Amino acid sequence: MPSIRLIPLHPVVLDVIPTLVDPLRFIFSGEIVLEKPLSNIVLRAYDDSRAQYNSTEILRQLIDFPQTDSKVLGITSVDLFVPVLTYVFGEAQLGGVASVVSTYRLDNTIYGLPADPVLFFERVLKEAVHELGHSFGLYHCRTLDCAMHASSAVEDIDVKGAMLCDECRRQISA
Ligand SMILES: [Zn+2]
Ligand SMILES: [Zn+2]
């Protein structure tokens, strides 16, 4: 199994990232490497006209990250978009190297609700597993509690689990 490199991309809520290491190691049965934060990648992806950050542009830059046989997951707290959608929670190259997750819309406070650190951590983990799953070649899964189930709203994330279903697990270990 390739190792997974977690790269904090400023601006980012740093506290949540180390808490992802153990669960990701368990779920993907591989080495997890916590990299030093990078500061310029997100800035270069800023789109003036939308006041958001282009996730595909972030992926393009992450592909250049020096690596051996690893998957690279960038984590940031800015609001991401792709041109055809209002926002995205993250994006990944299907079966490729790079993926990115945003914590922006996973935080209750942007919906006017009280902060909920446990729920926040769970959402970030689920989206990290989801985007990494795409990196490992997984498509969306119809199993409701599988992390590869598609989520277009934060409520969808809360319904699913952080684990991969048996079928998805079988595909990435094949
Ligand atoms: Zn997806
Ligand atoms: Zn599945």
> Of these residues, 35, 127, 131, 167, which one is catalytic?
131
127 in active site: no
In the block, which residue shows the tokens 């996730």?
A: 55
In angstroms, rounded to a whole number, what is the distance separating the alpha carbons of residues 157 and 93? 20
Closest ligand to C-alpha of residue 157 is: 1
The CA 131 to ligand 1 mean position distance, Å, reads: 6
User: Which listed ligand is nearest to 135 at the C-alpha?
Assistant: 1
Query: For residue 148, how far is its CA from the centre of ligand 1 (angstroms)?
Result: 6
Residue 153 per-residue DSSP state:
S
The DSSP bridge partners found for residue 3 are 70
- CATH label of the domain that carries residue 43: 3.40.390.10
pTM of the model: 0.96
Count up the domains in the chain and report the number: 1
pLDDT digit string, tens, across residues 90-136:
999 999 999 999 999 999 999 999 999 999 999 999 999 999 999 99
- Give pLDDT, residue 69: 79
Find the helix packing angle between 117-135 and 18-28, rounded to 10°.
50
Q: Residue 46's beta-bridge partner residues? A: 53
User: Domain of 165?
Assistant: 3-173
